[in-house]
Structure 1
Amino acid sequence: MSATADPADKSNPAHRLGFEKDQIIQELGYDEDTDQELREGIEEITGTDLVDEDYDDVADAVLLWHRDDDGDLTDSLVDALEYLAEGGLIWLLTPKTGRDGHIEASEIADAARTAGLSQTSSIAVAKDWAATRLATKAATKGGKR
């Protein structure tokens, strides 16, 4: 993918996540199985590199890759909130049904509710990954997207 591509290009798989130019996106849970095309697409849209858990400022959104064997999902969501700007979103990426590490939708809903988040949508965003949009109360009341 070219760094000069049009951020509105609908063929970019990251376009469906709603990121905008100059946003800071913090990525948590990166591993060898994460979708590189999606990661590059996000960087193409925002014009910035994804930042990791060592980033010492707040992010506009958190991209959380989570698999069934990654530990407690609620704990991961609560940890992700520490990095999030007021009104920010968490995009929870989990393996699709039938893939290793798949997490049931009911478990995602329970973990989100326990962490104080609202589940607003779920989409297929990559070959092996589904994305669930989780919003803080500030984001659901008209904050940033």
Structure 2
Amino acid sequence: MSTTPPSGNGPGVAERMGLKPSMIVMEIGYDDDVDDDLRGLIEDCTGGDLVTEDSDEVVDVVLVWYREDDGDLGDLLVDAIGPLADDGFIWLLTPKRGRAAYVEPSDIAEAASVAGLSQTSITTAGTEWSAARLAGRKSSGAKR
């Protein structure tokens, strides 16, 4: 049973997304339709501003805002992997079902697979956005 509040943007949403103080979060796909409240909660949780996709920093998390007409999702995810730290992950935010530019879950799964990623969880990320956590497939090597 889920304990996620229906709005998805209450206190704790950033923590539910696995974000912690001092994490560096890169944002890709910013536009005027993004959830500014969620962005603020992420910045409050991490204690820093979101960095842009032009940054050369190695980041802990990439936050990707993606809409159906934003181009090839597989290519975008491959690009999003580049700046990630070895244990980093991607939150792919897409419009909720029934909203303009909604992205089918099967399209997300296919693009993630092409990029070598696995979907590890989903959550509500506000009133307009759903979020899928994508991480690299673990190698058979031992964990530290």
| TM superposition score category, shorter chain reference | 0.7 to 0.9
CA distance in 2, matches of 1:33, 1:142: 42
Q: CA deviation at 1:138?
A: 4.5
Identity, in percent, stands at 51
> Residues 36 and 12 from structure 1, CA distance in 2 versus in 1: closer, same or farther, beyond 3 angstroms?
farther
- For structure 1, the residue ranges without an aligned partner over 5 or more in a row are 1-9
CA distance in 2, matches of 1:135, 1:24: 16
* Aligned residue in 1 for 2:67: 67
> Residues 138 and 61 from structure 1, CA distance in 2 versus in 1: closer, same or farther, beyond 3 angstroms?
farther
Greater helix percent: which structure?
Answer: 1
Confirm or deny that 1:34 pairs with 2:21.
no
* Aligned residue in 2 for 1:77: 77
> Residues 108 and 41 from structure 1, CA distance in 2 versus in 1: closer, same or farther, beyond 3 angstroms?
same
CA distance in 1, matches of 2:36, 2:142: 31
Superposition RMSD in Å: 1.9
CA distance in 1, matches of 2:129, 2:94: 6
Q: Which moved more, 1:14-23 or 1:89-98?
A: 14-23
CA distance in 2, matches of 1:53, 1:142: 32
* Aligned residue in 1 for 2:94: 94
Residue aligned with 1:109, SS: helix
Residue aligned with 1:70, SS: coil
Confirm or deny that 1:55 pairs with 2:44.
no
CA distance in 2, matches of 1:126, 1:50: 18
Q: CA deviation at 1:13?
A: 3.0
CA distance in 2, matches of 1:118, 1:142: 19
- For structure 2, the residue ranges without an aligned partner over 5 or more in a row are 1-9
Q: CA deviation at 1:12?
A: 4.1
Letter in 2 for 1:134: L
* Aligned residue in 2 for 1:44: 44
Q: CA deviation at 1:65?
A: 0.4
* Aligned residue in 1 for 2:130: 130
Q: CA deviation at 1:64?
A: 0.3
CA distance in 1, matches of 2:12, 2:81: 27
Q: CA deviation at 1:60?
A: 0.5
CA distance in 1, matches of 2:61, 2:100: 26
Instruction: Give the count of matched residue pairs.
Output: 134
| Equivalent residues in 2 for 1:6-17, closer than 5 Å | 11-17=11-17
